[in-house]
């Protein structure tokens, strides 16, 4: 082992990785390596559209949250006119952190070091000793907070550090069709049910993105208790049914698991279902009707899951939606942000039930969440071992699958649901960014 010299240049490793993905191989090293982490910061997070916040987290003028793109801390705030801005959380005078809270409401931010004051949209408005100290040489308009591009889709606010990157719409590239399955839950859309759970985990962010891009393969094993005790309406013999859909060249992917006996729109209240059908297109209604579980990732680090969870074993239970963001904080280490999304127009009773189901299954101490992290931290730990430098993993399921011509949605849809097609597309996009060719 260890045949590859440590001196192999990172660029050569990235090229080799790109070639390997085409033939269904991906290196373990990618999941825990300082040089790979640094390259991701430099080439990937500086160019991709990254999720910042849901609009319902900052509904009123002055509301703000602090979030990250890569290692950059940002203040995401709604100004007095209702516009949303994202600015680097750093004072332009000497670089102090401007906002030390993770959420709140403020019309202005005043630096705790020398007192420069900015509007929540980022303009510099107050400078102590302006006349006596700067003697007219400082122009306030030149020293606002460093602004980041923002755009949104159906309440999801994204930011991008690259002024030259294509617009969000093009970046999503048709994945909006699938995002709607999580977001158009009635005429009012969805809202967050409280602030996100967030915690640090010794897990590489990419393992989570991959898992949520449609890893139906792990469910009957890692979460087998859910099958056996009746909390999750699927079984080992039917679990592979459904589609894996990817957006070629974009990296986004979703797994749409069917359930032979699962009723269309099961797990949602009837009055809400009527509204959902109005909000979705006929093609989306067709896909939704056949979907039990939808688990998808927006490249690079945002994921969604819609899943039924039975509080009474054996029953269909309630379908909930979780949204999660994987913020990388080091090689093999990340901060997980996890939200529960609920339909704005749903009854309080349904919202409460959905949140309860989310908390039991996918909150920080949720049963499914624990199963996943037990595995993900071990994968990350293994990926950091010296001998693993040379080890690849197989990504060869569905290598020759032709797209399903009957499938009504955009992208590349293949059956069965248990498939590696989405992951080859994900890693190929990731490698394009690392090669500087995205």
Query: Hey, which residues does 297 pair with through a beta bridge?
Result: 253, 303
Which does residue 372 touch among ligand FES, Fe ion, none (CB within 5 to 8 A, set by kind)? Answer: Fe ion
Residue 203's Cβ-count burial label (10 Å; 0-12, 13-18, 19+) is: buried
Nearer to Fe ion, 189 or 253 (CB): 253
Residues 54-113 that bind Fe ion (CB under 5 A): none
Smallest gap, in angstroms, from Cβ of residue 111 to ligand FES?
A: 3
How far is Cα 320 from Cα 235, in angstroms, rounded to an integer? Answer: 20
Q: Among ligand FES, Fe ion, none, what does residue 367 contact (CB within 5–8 Å per kind)?
A: none
| Site size for Fe ion (CB under 5 A) | 1
Q: Which is nearer to Fe ion, 222 or 397 (CB)?
A: 222
Smallest distance, ligand FES to C-beta of residue 116, A: 4
Cα separation, 167 vs 422, in Å, equals 23
Shortest distance (Å) from residue 41 CB to ligand FES: 24
In whole angstroms, give the CA distance from residue 431 to residue 139: 43
Q: Site for ligand FES (CB under 6 A): which residue of 11, 35, 94, 100?
A: 94
In angstroms, give the least distance from the CB of 368 to Fe ion. 5
8 Å CB contact between 315 and 329:
no
| Residue 159: CB minimum distance to Fe ion, A | 28
91 binds, among Fe ion, ligand FES, none (CB under 5 to 8 A by kind): ligand FES
Examine residue 140 and tell whether it contacts ligand FES (CB under 6 A). Answer: no
In whole angstroms, how close is the CB of 94 to ligand FES at the nearest point? 4
**Which range in 5-13, 80-88, 93-101, 300-308 contacts ligand FES by CB under 6 A?**
93-101
Distance CA 340, CA 242 (A): 24
Q: Which does 344 bind (CB under 5 to 8 A by kind): Fe ion, ligand FES, none?
A: none
Considering only residues 91, 157, 161, 280, which one is a binding residue for ligand FES as defined by CB under 6 A? 91
Q: What is the DSSP letter of 199?
A: E
Angle (deg, nearest 10), helices 205-212 and 421-434: 140
The reply on whether position 372 binds Fe ion by CB under 5 A is yes
Q: Which stretch binds ligand FES (CB under 6 A): 27-35, 42-50, 113-121, 341-349?
A: 113-121
**Is the Cα torsion angle 175, 177, 178, 180 positive or negative in sign?**
positive
Asked if 90 is part of the footprint of ligand FES (rule: CB under 6 A), the reply reads no
CA–CA dist 308, 317 (Å, integer): 6
Q: Greatest CA separation found in the chain? A: 78
Beta-strand ranges (E) seen in 123-196 are: 124-126, 147-153, 156-160, 190-192
> What is the Cβ-side half-sphere exposure of residue 203, based on CA atoms within 13 angstroms?
23
Q: Nearest distance from residue 184's CB to Fe ion, in Å?
A: 25
Residue 432 is encoded by which pair of tokens? Answer: 């394009």
Helix extents (H) in 136-223: 168-172, 176-183, 205-212, 219-222
Residue 7 exposed, middle or buried by CB count within 10 Å (0-12, 13-18, 19+): exposed
Helices (H), ranges, 363-402: 367-383
How far is C-alpha 331 from the chain's CA centre? 18
Q: Which of 4, 18, 25, 93 binds ligand FES (CB under 6 A)?
A: 93
CA separation for the pair 85, 209 (Å, rounded)? 26
Site for ligand FES (CB under 6 A): how many residues?
9
Of residues 46, 96, 240, 289, which one binds ligand FES by CB under 6 A?
Answer: 96
Among residues 8, 113, 125, 283, the one that binds ligand FES under rule CB under 6 A: 113
Which member of 114, 218, 228, 378 binds ligand FES (CB under 6 A)? 114
Which span (112-120, 154-162, 311-319, 405-413) binds ligand FES, by CB under 6 A?
112-120
Residues that bind Fe ion (CB under 5 A): 372
Residues that bind ligand FES (CB under 6 A): 91, 93-94, 96, 111, 113-116
């Amino acid at each position: 082992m260890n045949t590859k010299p440590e001196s192999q240049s990172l660029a050569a490793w990235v090229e080799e990785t790109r070639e390997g993905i085409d033939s269904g191989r991906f290196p373990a090293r990618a999941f825990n390596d300082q040089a790979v982490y640094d390259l991701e910061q430099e080439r990937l997070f500086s160019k991709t559209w990254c999720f910042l916040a849901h609009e319902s987290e900052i509904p009123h003028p002055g509301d703000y949250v602090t979030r990250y793109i890569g290692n950059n801390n940002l203040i995401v705030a709604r100004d007095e006119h209702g516009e949303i801005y994202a600015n680097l959380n750093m004072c332009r005078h000497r670089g102090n952190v401007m906002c030390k809270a993770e959420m709140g409401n403020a019309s202005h931010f005043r630096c705790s070091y020398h007192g420069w004051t900015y509007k929540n949209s980022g303009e510099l408005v107050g400078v102590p000793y302006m006349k006596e100290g700067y003697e007219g040489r400082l122009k306030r308009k030149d020293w606002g907070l460093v602004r980041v591009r923002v755009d949104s889709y159906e309440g999801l606010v994204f930011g991008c550090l690259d002024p030259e990157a294509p617009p969000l719409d093009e970046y999503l590239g048709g994945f909006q069709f699938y995002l709607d399955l999580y977001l158009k839950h009635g005429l009012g859309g969805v809202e967050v049910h409280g602030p996100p759970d967030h915690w640090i985990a010794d897990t590489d962010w990419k393992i989570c993105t991959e898992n949520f891009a449609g890893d139906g393969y792990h469910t009957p094993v890692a979460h087998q208790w859910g099958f056996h005790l009746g909390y999750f309406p699927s079984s080992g013999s039917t679990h592979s049914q459904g589609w894996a859909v990817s957006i070629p060249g974009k990296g986004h992917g979703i797994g749409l698991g069917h359930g032979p006996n699962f009723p269309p729109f099961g797990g949602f209240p009837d009055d809400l279902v009527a509204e959902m059908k109005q909000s979705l297109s006929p093609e989306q209604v067709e896909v939704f009707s056949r979907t039990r579980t939808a688990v998808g990732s927006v490249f690079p680090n945002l994921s969604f899951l819609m899943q039924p969870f039975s509080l009474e074993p054996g029953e269909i239970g309630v379908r909930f939606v979780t949204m999660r963001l994987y913020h990388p904080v080091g090689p093999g280490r990340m901060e997980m942000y996890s939200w529960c999304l609920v339909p704005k127009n749903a009854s309080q009773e349904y919202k409460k039930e959905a949140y309860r189901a989310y908390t039991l299954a996918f909150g920080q101490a949720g049963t499914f969440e624990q199963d996943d992290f037990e595995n993900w931290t071990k994968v990350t730990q293994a990926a950091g071992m010296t001998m693993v430098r040379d080890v690849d993993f197989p990504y060869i399921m569905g290598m020759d699958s032709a797209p399903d011509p009957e499938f009504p949605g955009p992208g590349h849809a293949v059956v069965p649901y248990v498939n590696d097609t989405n992951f080859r597309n994900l890693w190929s996009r990731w490698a394009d960014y690392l090669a500087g060719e995205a």
